[in-house]
Each structure stands twice: as C-alpha cells, then as structure tokens.
Chain A
Amino acid sequence: MADEISSASQSAPQSGVAHGTLTNVSLPGTAFHPNEFDVELSQTSLAEADELLKSTLDEAMRDAGGNRAFLALIDTLDGELALRFTAGEGWTDGIRRLRVNMHAEQGADDAGRWDALSDTPIMPRPSGTRQGITRHVVANGRRYWTGDVSADPYYIGFFTDVKSEIAVPITARGGGTIGVLNIESPEANAFNEEHANALSILARRIAVIVAMAEHQLREEALIAIGKDLNAAADIDVLMQHVVEQATKILRADDCSLFLLDEDEATLELRASHGPLGDQTGQGAARYALGEGLTGWVAQHGEAIRVGDPRTDGRWKGVFMEAPAGEIASVMAVPVRSHRGISGVLRVVRHRKGSLYFMPQEFQQADEDVLVTLAGQLAVAVDRTRLLQRLLNSERMAAWGEMSARSAHMIGNAVFGVKGHLNELTHWFNEVRNAECGVRNDPHSALRTPHSDDARLLLESITRGIYRLEGILGEFRDFVLATQLHATPHDVNQILRTVTAESFPRHSNIDLVLNLAPGLCPVMADEAKLKRAFSELIENSVDFQPQGGMLTIRTTRAESETVRELARGQIHGAALQIEFIDHGPGLSEQDRQRVFTPFYTRKAKGMGLGLSIVKGIIEAHGGAIREIGDAQTVLSSAAPNGRTAGAHFVVLLPLHEEAKPAHGDAGN
C-alpha cells in the first residue's frame, strides 16, 4: 500500500495537475504556489506536511477498512476540488487529474454561499467535471456515507467495484470546508457512524496540518518580503512589490497603499495591484483624512475588517479596486512610522461564484499578516524619507558653499576685467592726448601708445568674460544636473558622438573604444549624458598631459558588479560603462572625495565637474564609482608597462522591456 502511494506521487509531476505533493500544487486554502514567489522558500516545511498528510490518509483507509481512499482539497485559485493524495489500488493519472467544479449554477442568486444549495438535487454536469458524494459533502459541510452506491442519489463512481463509500469534510479553523476525506470499499454496508467519528478526528488532523503548512509558507513569504524591503532603494518599486505580495499572501484580489502627504491632511494612492494602479503619480487618487474607510483608518490609527463594505456607515466608495457590488470584504491597517500614522495599506476580496468555502471575510490571522507588512513598509518609508532629507540637506549645504564660492570667483574675475577696462580707458586717454599734442603722463607713457596694447587688453577682457560664462555654466549644470528629460537611447551611439566631439583631434593619447554590440537601450537624457561623458573624457585627457591611453568600454554589467558598486541603487540589469586611463590615478583619499562639490585637483574651474557627473548619473537612476587598479581589471586590454590610472565605472539601469518613447523616468 505504501509502495503504491509513493509510486503515485513520483509519477505525478508530469500530469497536468500534479498530485501527491504539496510542493507542486497550490496549498489548499491558500492562493499561492510557492514558485510564484520571487524568493526561494525553504521546502522542508512543505515536504513535512506532505509526509503527514500521506500517512494520515493511509491511516484513515486502514482504520475504516476500505480498499481505496483519496484526499481532495480545494484549490483557491480556481475554486475547484483537486485530488491531492490517493491511497489503495487502481488509481490512474487520468482519474487523479479529475477536478470537481465547485462553482454555482449560472443564475444562482446566492452565489458564493456554499450552503445555498445544501439539499438541492444535483443535476448531471457536462463531461470533464464531476459531482457526487464528494461535491455534496463539500457543499453542505456534513459527513456522509452510503452502504450501496448504486442506490445513492449523489454517487458517481470512479471505479466499478465500489459498494460502499464514506466521506467526511475537512473544516478549516475559520469554519469553511476546505476539502474531503473519502474512503471506498468493495463490501456493501462497510461503513457506520463509528467509522465516521474516527475519520472526523483524522480530518481535523488534516485541517491542522494544512493550516500549519500554510502558516509556515506565510511566515517565510513575510521574511522574504522583509529582506526585499531592506534591499530596495526605490520606494515606488518597493511599495508596488509589497502590494503585489500582500495580494498573494492574503488570498486577496487587490491591495492598495495610500500614504499621508507632507501636510498630513490627505492620503495619496502610491501603489495598487489592480486597476487602481493607473491612478498613482500625478493626479493620484486622494482621500481626505477621515474620509471613507481608508481615511478613517488613517485618522484613528486602528485596523478595520469589514464584511460588506456598503453596509458600513463610514464607507464612501470613492476609489474602489472593483465595482462596489463586487467587493465582498475590505481590510485596512494603518502604516505606522515613528512619527505617527504615515499611511494606510488595504486589501479587498471580490465576491466569488464558488459554492465551497472561499475565504471572503478577512480573519484575525490575515490582519496580523497585513499589520506585519505595514510595519515593514513603515520602516522602509521612514528610511527613504530620512535619506531624502539627508540628500536635501547635503544639497542645501552644497548650495550654500556654491553661492559663497561662485561669488568669490565671479568677484575676482570681474575685478580682473575691471582692471583691464581701466587700462583701456587710460590707453584711450593717451591716444587722445597724443592726437591733441598734449604731453602724456611722464611715468607711464615714455613711448607713444600703440594699438597692440589695446589689442592685448581686449583679449584679456574677452578671456575674462569667457571665464565668467564658464563659471555660470558650471553653476547652471550643477543646478540642472538632476532635471532630466529621458528617452530610450543607445549609449554606444552617445559615446561615439561624444568622443567625436570632445576628444581632442590632435592628441598623444590613444583612444580605445570597446563597445559591446546589441545592448538594450537606456532611458537617458542625451544632452545630460553627453555632458557627463565628456567631463570624464576631458578629465582623463587633462591628467595625461604627457600622453597615454583612454579606454572606454561598455558591457552588460555582471550582477555581482551591480551588487558591489550600486548596492541599493540599481535593481535588475545594468549597463556598465568604463573610462580607464593611464594617468596618475587617484589616491585613496581622492577616491573618497573626488565626487564631492568644490573638490578639485585641477587649477581651473570651481571643482564641480565630477559632482555634476555624479548628479547626472544618479538622476538617471545609475551609479558612478572610481575603482582604480585599471591594470588588474583591464589586464587583457592594457599594454605592458603602463601605469594604473583612474578607472571610472558608470552603471545605468537597463530597460529590457521596450519602454514607450515618451517615458520621463527620473523626473
């Protein structure tokens, strides 16, 4: 008998609906398949549950004295009964694949109430679906046995040798029926109440095992989400991730997240699993504090679970995930950050047309899960806001220093130009005096004024004005670095253009372009990206006055590189652009400070160059690092005898799904 079961479970995976193992099928009473999660769940708890369920089924068949048994559990994805485990002889994959459709007849008013049809005569159904004792037991939640199947009004047989059948419902803790334990016997009148009592005890055990496995899966999914939350830097991506996962874990049909605005008076929709998802961003769906169920939760800081939301006095139905009539239940919990309520996370379940117990009302356990998710989310939101404030204050500090420095530089430059202008005025006076025959100032003009003097002065003035413009340009680039208009671009093409434009035509520096073909486009502001690349090129050229080599190469970044250089900044695929030269390179101290504003190793300029580059790259959602040791990384490309110079690595997120050309990422 045991052999039979194990061979059945081994042959199962190739069949359409896998049987005999929980790891391959959706857990009864849950809507999630382990492999639907992005994360790897440990399978040990599930394997253990499988083991227990199998042995319980064997025990049930032995105790009842039947020759065949099966355990059918409801698949919450489609609301059908599926045979999970079988014991005894004669089972074929064909039979195991049979699903019992538990949906109500079309037109049934009370669709969704499993007890609505409790004693209604069962009509024959189209082939491919089955009804019978199993369906009857699930539908009315009561155990049932028959001593003569040929005379039974419900019985539809899988096998011809069956005389007696007994079926007991498996009841979830919440009260609904989640499956059936079924034993058959070739003997007539084989089962009695005593058997039913014994099987009911085993059915309770099965319910506990299922609940336990489900609980473990939830717990693991929550831990996995917790890890994601810690790793993700982009708060919008993270929030979307949480609503998606909450929908799955809670067997909900939709989940939305509202966050309280800065003014703490309105709730703005930030992420949603279903159709409401379109109403985020500009012109997002908003609730006033206290408005509707969602507003109430934010105002009072209490969780709510509402059965039929339309009957609740607080319900407004302003922004719903589905038409109000289709919403069976709503659950909402406050997102509590350390400063107080910062938002509301809510889930909804739709009305179901299934007869069996489909989870519609949210339970306390569901609320606990949602509260946990909201807690993790609050930490992430807090952290992001803190980071934002930090970045802002850094930027404000930079602005302050920027103002002082540019005032100083502009002041000096203007003073110089004024000096030249004074001299030019003096020159004109002397010319006029000479024309009038007046003797010039004996100290300065021992010779007649010459037009060359004036030309030199004019050149100096022009130079001074250009310098002023350069300072203003740097100022402007610093301010505008983070304002992008991004469209999909081929970075290789941008690099080719930039090198053609910016790399000095007559140079003793060898330029090597090593561009990988077939790279995905990047969402980029072409002008800004060009500015960043040309700054890096100019930087490299300036530091190799005696000649040298500049290698620019593009590749698809290894995920390890992304992790190491752009931890928390880039998720998913990235394009790697490297600028490697053989100049003096950077000291460890320089490496730390090279991107900070006003730090410069060059005599000219305000020292904003690389901080502008960093601003531009980060506005593209990317990252830039100086890693040095060009020799080791470029071992194949670097000719022997060259010294290790600067090695800048730029990582830009790749957009592998074709994005619309009007995208405005980074705004």
Chain B
Amino acid sequence: MGKILVADDEDDVRLSLERRLTREGHSVSSAGSQAAAIACINESDTAFDVVLTDMLMESPSSGVEVLKATLARDVFTEVVVLTAYGNVANAVECMKMGAFDYVEKNIPGVDVYELICIKIEQALDRRRSSLSTVRKLEQFARFQEKREDDKAKSTPE
C-alpha cells in the first residue's frame, strides 16, 4: 500500500513497528540511527511515501534532522514523529516544520501501534491527495500552455 521508512534506535521498537506495518500490507524499510535514516532517504530509488521516525536518537533533535532530509528529497513525503516521555516540545517544532503528526509512544490505555497504523493511513491519504492535486495542477498548467500555443498559432502575424 505504501512505501514506508521506520527509523528508531531501539531494536525492539524498530522490529515491532516493521513487523506490524508489513502485516498491514506496507513495504517497509528500517534504519537504526539518524545517519542511517538520512542515507536511506537519499539513496532509495523512489521517495518514501511516509517516514516514521523517533525523535531522540543520536541527538535530542534527530527527528528534526530526518524531517529536513525527507522534505529535501520529496516535499510531499509525509513524516510522522514518535516521542517517548519528555520530547513533546521537539515534536511540536517538527509540526511547525511540516511534519504530518506526532505520536507519543506511551499513552496509557491506548494501543499505540494501532494508532500509528491509523496515522500512517491518514498520512498516505494526504500524500495521495497532495500528489493528485499536483497532478491536476500540472495538467492544468499543460492545458494552459497548450491554449497559449493554440492562441499564438491562430493569431495572424
């Protein structure tokens, strides 16, 4: 359904997310650090649809760096940021910079994996709608171009 990158330095977390999202039918890649995630984003053949990244890896603002790299590669790739306790401020910063949403890992009584799956579906929807809007704009632009051309041809010298 979607091409997704999971970036988290906790082996257990990365493994669980990878498994779950695969089960949901996505094509999942994973990275265990900020550097690995950025390399993955830059080197993949096609851009990821969604990047799911932990906020705190090598540095407390790893999520921000991954977000920047993602948007530099494809401005329509959606980024979902994961935070453990105490990183909400950074997550809000990511939202301002264009992340799709942030999810706290520990919400009492909530199946956060389910929540993540929902967020990713929503992110994919937005990317699809963004892409379709872009496509429409491109079509419109082409259409306009063609009209200009036609007008130019039909106008006598």
Instruction: List chain A positions with a Cβ less than 8 A from chain B.
Output: 404, 407-409, 411-420, 422-423, 426, 441, 443-444, 460, 463-464
Q: Is B111 an interface residue (CB 8 A)?
A: yes
A-B contacts, 11 of them at CB < 8 A, read A407-B84, A408-B86, A408-B87, A412-B13, A412-B105, A415-B10, A416-B11, A419-B113, A422-B20, A441-B23, A443-B24
Q: How far is the CA of A413 from the CA of B25 in the complex (A)?
A: 26
B25 touches A416 (CB 8 A): no
* Chain A binding surface, main DSSP class: helix
For A423, list chain B residues within 8 Å (CB): 16, 19-20
Binary contact track B90-102/A, C-beta < 8 Å → 1, others 0: 0000000000000
Sample of 16 more A-B contacts, CB < 8 Å, known A407-B84, A414-B106, A419-B20: A407-B85, A408-B56, A408-B84, A408-B86, A413-B10, A413-B12, A415-B13, A415-B105, A416-B10, A416-B13, A420-B16, A423-B19, A441-B23, A444-B22, A460-B12, A460-B15
Q: Which are the 5 A-B pairs with shortest beta-carbon distances?
A: A419-B16, A416-B12, A444-B23, A411-B84, A415-B105
Which of A411, A415, A464 has the most chain B CB atoms closer than 10 A to its own CB? A415
Q: How far is the CA of A333 from the CA of B86 in the complex (A)?
A: 54
Q: Is B112 an interface residue (CB 8 A)?
A: yes
Instruction: Give the nearest-CB partner of A416 in chain B.
Output: B12
For B111, list chain A residues within 8 Å (CB): 418, 422
Q: Is B41 an interface residue (CB 8 A)?
A: no
When the two chains form the complex, which single residue of B12, B20, B105 contacts A411, counting CB atoms closer than 8 Å?
B105
Q: How far is the CA of A417 from the CA of B25 in the complex (A)?
A: 22
When the two chains form the complex, which single residue of A407, A409, A420, A444 contacts B12, counting CB atoms closer than 8 Å?
A420
For B13, list chain A residues within 8 Å (CB): 412, 415-416, 419
For A404, list chain B residues within 8 Å (CB): 85-86
Q: How far is the CA of A334 from the CA of B10 in the complex (A)?
A: 61
> B20-46: which residues lie under 8 A (CB-CB) from chain A?
20, 22-25
B24 touches A415 (CB 8 A): no
A419 touches B85 (CB 8 A): no
Number of A-B residue pairs, CB cutoff 8 Å, is 68
Q: How far is the CA of A443 from the CA of B23 in the complex (A)?
A: 6
Instruction: Give the nearest-CB partner of B17 in chain A.
Output: A419
Which of A409, A416, A444 has the most chain B CB atoms closer than 10 A to its own CB? A416
Instruction: List chain B positions with a Cβ less than 8 A from chain A.
Output: 10-13, 15-17, 19-20, 22-25, 56, 84-87, 105-106, 111-113
A411 touches B15 (CB 8 A): no
Which of B17, B22, B112, B113 has the most chain A CB atoms closer than 10 A to its own CB? B113
A422 touches B16 (CB 8 A): yes
For A411, list chain B residues within 8 Å (CB): 84-85, 105-106
A639 nearest CB across to chain B (Å): 38
A55 nearest CB across to chain B (Å): 82
For B113, list chain A residues within 8 Å (CB): 418-419, 422
B106 touches A419 (CB 8 A): no
Q: How far is the CA of A451 from the CA of B6 in the complex (A)?
A: 27
Q: How far is the CA of A100 from the CA of B87 in the complex (A)?
A: 86
B12 nearest CB across to chain A (Å): 3
For A441, list chain B residues within 8 Å (CB): 23
Instruction: Give the nearest-CB partner of A445 in chain B.
Output: B23
For B15, list chain A residues within 8 Å (CB): 416, 419, 460
A628 nearest CB across to chain B (Å): 27
Q: How far is the CA of A413 from the CA of B12 in the complex (A)?
A: 8
For A419, list chain B residues within 8 Å (CB): 12-13, 15-17, 19-20, 113
For A444, list chain B residues within 8 Å (CB): 22-23
Q: How far is the CA of A417 from the CA of B13 in the complex (A)?
A: 8
Q: How far is the CA of A422 from the CA of B15 in the complex (A)?
A: 12
For A414, list chain B residues within 8 Å (CB): 106
Q: How far is the CA of A656 from the CA of B14 in the complex (A)?
A: 57
Q: How far is the CA of A407 from the CA of B106 in the complex (A)?
A: 10
A520 nearest CB across to chain B (Å): 48
B112 touches A415 (CB 8 A): yes
Q: How far is the CA of A463 from the CA of B87 in the complex (A)?
A: 25
Instruction: Give the nearest-CB partner of B19 in chain A.
Output: A423
For B105, list chain A residues within 8 Å (CB): 411-412, 415
B142 nearest CB across to chain A (Å): 37
Q: How far is the CA of A419 from the CA of B113 in the complex (A)?
A: 7
Q: How far is the CA of A416 from the CA of B14 in the complex (A)?
A: 8
For A415, list chain B residues within 8 Å (CB): 10, 13, 84, 105-106, 112
A412 touches B86 (CB 8 A): no
Instruction: Give the nearest-CB partner of B104 in chain A.
Output: A411
When the two chains form the complex, which single residue of B10, B17, B23 contacts A412, counting CB atoms closer than 8 Å?
B10
A407 touches B86 (CB 8 A): yes
B19 nearest CB across to chain A (Å): 6
B16 touches A416 (CB 8 A): yes
Instruction: Give the nearest-CB partner of A417 in chain B.
Output: B12
Instruction: Give the nearest-CB partner of A420 in chain B.
Output: B16
A416 nearest CB across to chain B (Å): 3
